[in-house]
Amino acid sequence: MSTPLQVYEPFRAGLPPLRKYWRSLWSRRTFISEYSRSELREQHFDSIFGQLWLILNPLMLSAVYFLLIVIIGGSGGAIRYGHLTASLFLFYLVSNSLSGGVKSVTAGQRLILNTAFPRMMLPISATVIAFFKFIPTLLVFMIMRTVLGLPFGWQMLWSIPIILITLIFSLGVAILISTVNVYFRDIASFLPYLIRTLLYLSPILYEASALKPELRVLEHFNPLFSILESWSLSIVHAQTPQLSSMLVATGWALGVLLIGTYFFLSREREFAVRL
Amino acid sequence: MSSLSVSNINHKTGDLAVSVQNLGLTYTTAIDRRPTLKARVKSLGRGTKQTRVVQALDNVNLDVTYGQVLGVIGTNGAGKSSLMRTIAGIIPPTKGRIEVFGSVSTLLALGIGFNPAMSGRANVHLGGLAAGMTRKEIEDHFDEIAEFSELGDAIDAPMRTYSSGMYARLGFSVAATVQPDILIVDEALSTGDAHFKEKSFNKIKELRSEDRALILVSHAMATLREICNDVAWLHKGKLVTRGKPNQVIDEYQDFLHLGKSSAIDEDL
């Protein structure tokens, strides 16, 4: 008698066999790229004007916020504007991942009910889509900082690991929120408030260094604080970010990814009966 | 996770295709169709139950061999769809063990249509990739799928513009065209117009072969009598009988106190 191709047994400790899960996830990477591409195409981001909108949207937003800062705070300047724009662009990577991830599982209902596949592909695709939307804004910022005359330096290379950390964090929150949305379908309507709060608590409209010492406690509670502080230092100021905030950022990102993944995997078996 | 692209070559009649051993499935599901945080907060302290536990399958033992065409019958809520989903690997079992000796293609109640905003073509591709097929395998089958579905130019239109019949046609075409070792069809034969019904019926007959196993869930007793060489009857999560189609179906219809009226027989 031949050996079975597939064996389905109850999960131990509520988790699927991880090695097998990872293997089937890896073998379906073409799905993730194909899905992201067709999703972007469907949102018209393959056209010139679609791409333009992608850049125009945060650009106009940064212009509006700049106006606000100048009126309230009185201080403008190229660095300030550069900081605002760069931070908003990175913030959008996280926020796009959140808003794309939240419905990724519930929207995949038909596929989930009909096909056996690692469900985690769905929130992963949402993060990949958010990353694809982020790339053109990065190019725009590079042009912009040249025009603004911001300092250049090798320290700007620190932004590469920071983007990586942000991606890990974005993936973590996308996975986490997609699971929560299965149980509470109205989470998506709370999301704008959450994102807005996160925006104001993060060093985007202000610089981390300008914050009053008593408000610095924010950095311990806001996972984006250390990420955005390091990001601004490296890509706007061309300075080496502090090792401590890089470590805190990495810790947050990995922690959120780990918790999100555990939560997702332990609930995944229920998705088909909960949708 | 099942993968359509992995396929054992040369199955012989009588070889085991699927082995279901002491299968039990219990799950918790939300009572609300769309559970929300708002509703949960509002009902705080009232002690209203939000979830209920469903015992979908209980100690089911079932072997399917290659060459067999197994019909699965039972009343609504008997656990037919749950059984199909556990065999397909969509829901992991709570108890017992399922062994599958080949590639599985599923056409379950909901059929295809992952993202209604995308075209039928994109949905077929995404569905195939999710099922573990390679791009090339999908490309190879695509023309055949499109032709069998008779969708014509509509294949490139967004799926939200499709009628339910078109959904069903595309779903059936995908499941039946990819040449799986084991094909599971859940109540999908009863959709589409008369012409497509006839066509899919013939396709199923054509797919009956020595080296393939078919599992059909249907309420269309006449169809099952004609196509199947084995029928299993499920009731409230338990396997009642398994045996020759006519015998089991007669028993089932007696149980329903309905007799052999043409209304049930032709419930196609």
A30 with B2: Cβ contact below 8 A? no
Shortest distance between the Cα of B249 and any Cα of chain A, in A, equals 27
Q: Do A273 and B132 touch (CB under 8 A)?
A: no
Choose from A7, A8, A39 for mutation: most chain B CBs within 10 A: A8
**Secondary element (H or E) of residue B56:** strand B51-65
The pTM of the full predicted model, rounded to 2 decimals, is 0.88
Cβ contact B103–A118 (<8 Å)? no
Task: Compare all CA atoms of chain A with the CA of B157 and give the residue at the minimum distance.
Answer: A42
Query: Residue A110: left (phi > 0), alpha (psi -120 to 50), or beta?
Result: alpha
User: Is the pLDDT score of B21 beyond 60?
Assistant: yes
CA nearest to A29 within chain B = B129
Confidence of residue A167 (pLDDT cuts 50, 70, 90): very high
> Residue B3: is its pLDDT beyond 60?
no
* Residue-wise pLDDT tens digits, A82-113: 898 899 999 999 999 999 999 899 888 888 88
Task: Say if residue A75's pLDDT is above 50.
Answer: yes
**Helices assigned H by DSSP within chain B:** 37-42, 80-87, 120-130, 135-149, 164-177, 194-207, 221-227, 245-255, 262-265
Are A198 and A222 contacting, i.e. CB atoms less than 8 angstroms apart? yes
Rounded to the nearest angstrom, the minimum Cα separation between A127 and chain B is 17
Confidence of residue B267 (pLDDT cuts 50, 70, 90): very low
pLDDT at B15 (0 to 100): 84
Higher-confidence residue: B112 or A72?
A: A72
A111 touches chain B (CB under 8 A): yes
Task: Report yes or no: B79 at the A interface, CB cutoff 8 Å.
Answer: no
Task: Give residue A196's pLDDT band: very low, low, confident or very high (50, 70, 90).
Answer: very high
DSSP 8-state secondary structure symbol assigned to residue B152: G
Q: Give me the pLDDT at residue B6, please.
A: 47
Give the position of tokens 């969509």.
B90
Record: contact B132-A27, CB cut-off 8 A: yes
Which of A184, A264, A189, A113 minimizes the C-alpha distance to B32?
Answer: A184
Residue B20: closest CA among chain A residues belongs to which residue?
A: A8
Contacts with A31 from chain B: Cβ below 8 Å: 126, 129-130
- B16-30/B95-100 β-pairing: antiparallel
Question: Are A110 and B15 in contact (CB < 8 Å)?
Answer: no
The full length of chain B comes to 268
Residue B232: pLDDT over 70:
yes
Q: Say which of A9, A16, A115 has its CB closest to residue B106.
A: A115
**What end-to-end distance do the CA atoms of chain B give, in Å?**
32
Over residues B192-218, the mean pLDDT reads 83
Mutate: best of B114, B125, B136, B174, partner A, most A CBs <10 A: B114
Q: Quick check: A1 contacting B, CB < 8 Å?
A: yes
CA-CA distance, A201 to A221, in Å (whole number)?
Answer: 10
Q: What is the pLDDT of residues A133-143, one digit of tens each?
A: 898 889 889 98
If contacts are CB pairs under 8 Å, which of residues 121-140 in chain B contact chain A? Answer: 122, 125-127, 129-132, 134-135
Of A12-21, A187-196, B106-115, B185-194, the poorest mean pLDDT is in B106-115
Average pLDDT, stretch A217-236? 89
CA atoms B68, B80, B73, B174: torsion sign: negative
ipTM of model over 0.90: no
Q: Burial of B5 by CB count in 10 Å (0-12 exposed, 13-18 middle, 19+ buried)? A: middle
Least confident of A135-149, A186-200, B5-19, B74-88: B5-19
Q: What single-letter DSSP state applies at residue A38?
A: H
Residue B266 burial (CB < 10 Å; 0-12/13-18/19+)? exposed
Q: Which residues of B touch A107 (CB under 8 A)?
A: 115
Return the closest-CA partner of residue B8 out of B210, B185, B212, B205. Answer: B212
Cα–Cα dist A5/B265, whole Å: 37
Q: Whole-angstrom Cα distance, residue A1 to residue A74?
A: 81
Buried b (16+ CB within 10 A) or exposed e, B45-68: eeeeeeeeebebbbebebebbbbb
What does A199-221 look like in DSSP terms, one character per residue? HHHSTTSS-GGGS-GGGGGHHHH
Decide: helix, strand or coil at residue A107.
Answer: helix
* Residue A208 predicted with pLDDT over 70: yes
Report the percent of chain B where pLDDT is more than 70: 87
Mind telling me how many Å the CA of A225 is from chain B's nearest CA?
Answer: 28
B50 vs B140, residue with greater confidence: B140
3-class DSSP assignment, residue A15? strand
> B230-235 and B238-243 as β-strands: parallel, antiparallel, unpaired?
antiparallel
The residue among A176 and B254 whose pLDDT is bigger is: A176
Check: CB of residue B118 under 8 Å from CB of residue A38.
Answer: yes
Residue of A20, A46, A106, A110 to mutate for B, most B C-beta atoms under 10 A: A110
